[in-house]
Amino acid sequence: MERLPLIVQSDLTLLLEVDNSKFEEARQSLVGFTELVKSPEHIHTYRLTPLSIWNAVAAGIIPDQMIERLTAYSQYPVPDTVSFYIRDQGRRFGPLQIRKSPDGDGFWLTSDDAQLLLQISKHKAIVPFLGPVLSPGFKIRPEHRGLIKQALAKIGWPANDLAGYAQGIPLDITLSDTTRHGTPFHLRDYQRHAIMAFSSSGNGVIVLPCGAGKTMVGLGAMADVGRDTLILTTSVAALHQWRDEILDKTTMDPEAIGEYSARVKDLRPVTLTTYQLLSHKKGSTYPHFDTLNQHDWGLIIYDEVHLLPAPVFRLTASLQSRRRLGLTATLIREDGRADDVFSLIGPKRFDMPWKDLEQQGWIATAECKEIRVSLSSTWREHYALAEDTERARIAAENPAKIGTVRELLAHHAHDHVLIIGQYLSQLKALHDDIGAPLLTGETPAAERERLYQAFRDGRIPVLIVSKVANFAIDLPDANVAIQISGTFGSRQEEAQRLGRILRPKSDGGQATFYSVVSEDTKEQDFAQKRQLFLCEQGYRYEIAHADAHGAPMTSGRVIPFPAREVQS
């Protein structure tokens, strides 16, 4: 009889054997309340954290269910210390509540646990936000509603905000049965479940992969709430895509939709803006935020909430009277501020595993492959003599990668290929070598849209893009991504880049995601960290090696890729 795949350790780490028939079953059971730490070939390591447990409780997984899942797959008895920790952290989300003050003026931090109220009232991080005693609990000024939630989460006692929200101005919006082109439209079951999970609370984060229709969830939430809505996006391109989807799939009058950007300042019942503009500071004030905050919004949507800039967290602390919906493909934040997303936007309300959506045909099947490219002797000497802070970039810009890209393009001559990288000098060198169009942050908005549309139409089969392609691009026919450099060990970037090619293909074909990394360098170490995201979602990845000229060793040759011109 095969042994069970899991070992639960008293230090709160979990070891999961990959080469076990119950591996995938156990992995799916763990992802709802654990975090993946590392994922070498044979053993994956997970850990339990306060935030992973709080999010699970907020999503309806109670501590006893978490312990039962561990017990079901563990080779040995679950240590008592682990069970105690899960129950202890699980009970911390809920006892402290923020409600409307019973005297009708402001808010009230309350609990049935008098000792807990006494305990937190003595904490120096909490004291500045507590008003007069309002038995049982303390009065809170409206402007402190977000700040105290932040502070409570950081000391390990997150508050459940039940104070409700400002109604906002009524909005006339319903979802259409057909798009503008006459195509039938309806929400998928999982999208409806995500909307219901949000609507029952009025705040929180929905986690869905790129291509699974996060925007549709946003539209459904807007129709469900039926109040004026402010939509925060990562870029003007994303803003325009949101506007197109609203016009395509709802009954909204175009005159009711406004763009508030550097170019246009048009405030309407549904207004779209960017994080960058919202966080623009002039002196000690945020003029655009102040202007937008004067409107009586009933709902604020945070697109790609995992990319929320630090200044917007501070501003969001003052928006707690509005319903708040965060949309993202991953809750991973490289800056460690996931607890601020939890406290200020809200807990994770819905999370659909990528592999489940793939099996149901809602996103494309994907293969993930890492190709390790050797450094030439000259480049290796350059790497060895460099300062430690310079080595990551030297490894990333390894010239031998161009040969690998050529080989991959020859292999995918009939596909729609995105080549994504971090460094402009590297991307420009690749552009000069293969002749494919290059799109960066320096590309004017009109030219970006032209290139994107040419790629969608098939007039451009290959597009080289910088970090601007990490998010907010709707390129449904892209089926191959070649990542030639990235942001150190960023798992969130890995999620965004894989997501660029996951929209279902019209021919039912699969997607392929390549990461080209320099072997035996810091970049290879970073790649292993980035691959954690792939493992979290259930993807396996293959590793292949290339020679110093970039050609895969199994091929032994480099096939030239002719320059392709952009057709007007």
CATH label of the domain that carries residue 453:
3.40.50.300
Confidence bin at 265 (pLDDT 50/70/90): very high
Mean pLDDT of the residues in the chain: 86
In a domain, 473, yes or no: yes
Provide the 10 A C-beta neighbour count for residue 276. 17
Same domain? For 521 and 405 the reply is yes
C-alpha 372/C-alpha 395 separation (Å) is 11
Confidence bin at 148 (pLDDT 50/70/90): very high
Q: What does pTM read for this prediction?
A: 0.81
Confidence bin at 331 (pLDDT 50/70/90): confident
How confident is the model over 418-437, as a mean pLDDT? 92
Tokens (6 digits) for 390: 């310079």
Report yes or no: 109 and 96 within 8 Å, Cβ to Cβ: yes
How confident is the model over 61-77, as a mean pLDDT? 97
Phi, psi (5° rounding) for residue 151? -65, -40
Give the SS3 label for residue 53. helix
Give the residue numbers spanning the domain of 123: 97-161
Of the three residues 314, 331, 352, the one that is the final residue of a domain is: 352
> pLDDT at position 229, please?
97
Nearest Cα to Cα of residue 443 among 249, 271, 237:
237
Higher pLDDT: 473 or 44? It is 44
In a domain, 374, yes or no: yes
Report yes or no: 237 and 445 within 8 Å, Cβ to Cβ: yes
In a domain, 482, yes or no: yes
> pLDDT at position 558, please?
34
Judged against a pLDDT cut of 60, whether residue 552 lies above it is answered with no
Percent helix, strand, coil in the chain (nearest 5)?
Answer: 40, 20, 40
Please tell me the least confidently modeled range out of 50-54, 152-156, 397-401.
397-401
In a domain, 430, yes or no: yes
How confident is the model over 421-443, as a mean pLDDT? 90
In a domain, 178, yes or no: no
> pLDDT at position 554, please?
44
Give the SS3 label for residue 91. coil
Judged against a pLDDT cut of 60, whether residue 367 lies above it is answered with yes
C-alpha 78/C-alpha 332 separation (Å) is 27
Confidence bin at 473 (pLDDT 50/70/90): low
Same domain? For 379 and 344 the reply is no
Judged against a pLDDT cut of 80, whether residue 29 lies above it is answered with yes
Please tell me the least confidently modeled range out of 141-155, 174-188, 453-467, 541-555.
541-555
Please tell me the least confidently modeled range out of 132-136, 275-279, 402-406, 496-500.
496-500
Tokens (6 digits) for 333: 């934040």
DSSP 142: G
Please tell me the least confidently modeled range out of 121-130, 183-192, 376-385.
376-385
Report yes or no: 344 and 516 within 8 Å, Cβ to Cβ: no
How confident is the model over 523-547, as a mean pLDDT? 74
> pLDDT at position 248, please?
94
CA of residue 489 relative to chain centroid, distance = 15
Of the three residues 49, 72, 90, the one that is the final residue of a domain is: 90
Nearest Cα to Cα of residue 367 among 470, 498, 488, 489:
498
C-alpha 132/C-alpha 412 separation (Å) is 68
Judged against a pLDDT cut of 90, whether residue 230 lies above it is answered with yes
Provide the 10 A C-beta neighbour count for residue 440. 17
Q: In what order do the strands lie in the sheet with 438-439?
A: 438-439, 462-465, 417-420, 480-483, 511-518, 366-373, 541-546
> pLDDT at position 126, please?
96
Domain count, the chain: 4
Residue 494 neighbours by CB under 8 Å, 6+ apart: 486, 530, 531, 533, 534
Judged against a pLDDT cut of 80, whether residue 33 lies above it is answered with yes
> pLDDT at position 561, please?
33
Judged against a pLDDT cut of 80, whether residue 197 lies above it is answered with yes
Judged against a pLDDT cut of 80, whether residue 472 lies above it is answered with no
Same domain? For 442 and 389 the reply is yes
Same domain? For 363 and 504 the reply is yes
In a domain, 317, yes or no: yes
Judged against a pLDDT cut of 80, whether residue 321 lies above it is answered with yes
> pLDDT at position 549, please?
54
How confident is the model over 82-103, as a mean pLDDT? 94
C-alpha 74/C-alpha 7 separation (Å) is 5
Phi, psi (5° rounding) for residue 61? -95, 110
Same domain? For 484 and 532 the reply is yes
In a domain, 558, yes or no: no
Same domain? For 305 and 212 the reply is yes
Phi, psi (5° rounding) for residue 300? -120, 130
> pLDDT at position 270, please?
97
Helices 388-396 and 522-536 pack at an angle, to 10 degrees, of 70
Provide the 10 A C-beta neighbour count for residue 334. 14
Judged against a pLDDT cut of 90, whether residue 560 lies above it is answered with no
Same domain? For 363 and 492 the reply is yes
Same domain? For 390 and 484 the reply is yes
Nearest Cα to Cα of residue 477 among 462, 467, 493, 495:
462
How confident is the model over 550-558, as a mean pLDDT? 45
Summarised one tens digit per residue, pLDDT across range 396-417 is 899 999 999 999 999 898 888 9
Please tell me the least confidently modeled range out of 45-54, 74-83, 254-263, 336-345.
336-345
Same domain? For 56 and 42 the reply is yes
Please tell me the least confidently modeled range out of 3-17, 210-224, 511-525.
511-525
Same domain? For 308 and 409 the reply is no
Higher pLDDT: 506 or 218? It is 218
The percent of residues in the chain predicted with pLDDT above 70, rounded, is 89
Report yes or no: 204 and 197 within 8 Å, Cβ to Cβ: yes
Report yes or no: 198 and 221 within 8 Å, Cβ to Cβ: yes
Nearest Cα to Cα of residue 484 among 465, 512, 456, 511:
465
Same domain? For 540 and 514 the reply is yes
> pLDDT at position 489, please?
55
> pLDDT at position 563, please?
33
Give the SS3 label for residue 98. strand
Of the three residues 143, 161, 179, the one that is the final residue of a domain is: 161
Judged against a pLDDT cut of 60, whether residue 111 lies above it is answered with yes
How confident is the model over 360-377, as a mean pLDDT? 85
Q: In what order do the strands lie in the sheet with 160-161?
A: 137-140, 107-110, 97-100, 160-161
In a domain, 371, yes or no: yes
> pLDDT at position 562, please?
34
Same domain? For 299 and 194 the reply is yes
